[in-house]
Amino acid sequence: MGRWPAGAQERLQEAAIELFTERGYERTTVAEIAKRAGLTERTFYNHFADKREVLFPDQDRFIAEIREAVGAAPAEQSPLDAVLAAFTATSDWFDQRRDASQRRRHILDAHTDLRERERAKMAALGEAIADALRTRGIYDPAATLTATVSVAAYQLASARWLADPQHATLGHHLHTSFDDLHRTASTW
């Protein structure tokens, strides 16, 4: 990554969220995002495949970290506890980016094609969790079902975190949401 200016990805993402909020997602071009960040269009495309991807900047790394943490969790942890611990380990990073996450959420909610991309990312997250569960000796269908419901609990926690007027941490909302999942499963 040495040939790119330090922090280029973060600057592009911040510029994109600013511009999408100011003048709308459709009306903002990649050239304008690059200009606002003080970078070239070419640098943008070195980091992101298209305009949509600038709103999912760290998803691959996030998914890789979750996969690794689930695989490395203590053997005595239940599948859901292992996934909860993996999500919780990444939650400080999100808490430091709460405002930008909130603006990003508003943009995603307003655009069908962005929500489609988000669903694809969440499906990839679920597949990574299912893979990691298989390395723990949990086989299908349990791996896929557990991974799918884990992603649903994660999305619930994330939505509550962004909507919370008290600004409780994402870690707090993760624990609450996984508790809700346990309670809900007992009614099935």
Handedness of CA 37, 5, 64, 69 (dihedral sign): negative
Residue from the set 12, 37, 125, 181 that interacts with a second copy by CB under 8 A: 181
| Exposed / middle / buried, residue 48 (Cβ in 10 Å: 0-12, 13-18, 19+) | buried
- With respect to a second copy, which residue has the nearer C-beta, 92 or 116? 116
* DSSP codes joined into one string, 40-64: -HHHHHHH-SSTGGGGSTTHHHHHH
Residue from the set 59, 90, 148, 169 that interacts with a second copy by CB under 8 A: 148
- With respect to a second copy, which residue has the nearer C-beta, 31 or 120? 120
Lookup: tokens for 67: 């996969």
- Cα gap 102→6, rounded to integer Å: 25
What residues numbered 60-99 form the site for a second copy, per CB under 8 A?
Answer: 78-80
- With respect to a second copy, which residue has the nearer C-beta, 21 or 176? 176
Site residues, a second copy (CB under 8 A) = 78-80, 116, 119-120, 123, 138, 141-142, 144-146, 148-149, 152-153, 156, 177, 180-185, 187-188
